[in-house]
């Protein structure tokens, strides 16, 4: 099969354009409204990675002890929050503790009398 002389330069130019990397194409070569990349929609954020230490809490009378282990790469800043049962007893929040990757931190707190509820808050440390 032989190409005519008028189609030969056109086919060479087409082969060169198709062999260019995707980022080398001019922006106006994309149709209007087309996404910037083939598999990522415009404005979509990447899927979130795994984050957050797993925590165990134990209550013994008016004392609370929590252990938080961080199995992930990002640093997790954890805080212990204690709500006391008596209206006159002051609820407490611990100081933040950074749980580095593969690290376990211990958080403690107390009320004067009974404890109503205990929870841990997580924040990604930057």
Across the chain, mean pLDDT equals: 81
* Mean per-residue pLDDT, 64-75: 95
pLDDT range class, residue 49, cuts 50, 70, 90: confident
Residue 90 has pLDDT above 70, yes or no: yes
Structure-token pair, residue 68? 């938080």
| Widest pairwise Cα distance in the chain | 96
Counting residues of the chain whose pLDDT is more than 90, the rounded percentage is 57
Structure-token pair, residue 124? 């990604």
Q: Which of 79, 68, 72, 23 is nearest to 51 (CA)?
A: 72
Residue 25 has pLDDT above 90, yes or no: no
Structure-token pair, residue 71? 């199995």
Please count the helices (runs of H) and the strands (runs of E) in the chain: 1, 7
What is the number of other CB atoms lying within 10 angstroms of the CB of residue 68? 23
CA dist., res. 25 & res. 112, Å (int): 69
Residue 119 has pLDDT above 80, yes or no: yes
Contact by Cβ (8 Å): 119, 95: no
DSSP 8-state class, residue 75 = -
Q: Return the higher-pLDDT residue of 80 and 32.
A: 80
């Amino acid at each position: 099969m032989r190409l005519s002389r008028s189609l030969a330069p056109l086919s060479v130019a087409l082969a060169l354009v198709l062999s260019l990397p995707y980022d080398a194409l001019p922006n106006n070569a994309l149709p209007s409204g087309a996404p910037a990349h083939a598999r990522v929609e415009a404005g979509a954020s990447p899927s979130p990675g795994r984050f957050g230490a797993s925590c165990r809490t134990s209550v013994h009378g008016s004392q609370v002890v929590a252990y938080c282990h961080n199995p992930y790469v990002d640093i997790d800043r954890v805080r212990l929050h204690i709500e006391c049962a008596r209206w006159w007893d002051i609820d407490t929040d611990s100081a933040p503790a950074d749980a580095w990757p593969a690290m376990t931190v211990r958080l403690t707190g107390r009320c004067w009398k009974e404890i109503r509820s205990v929870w841990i808050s997580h924040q990604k440390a930057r």
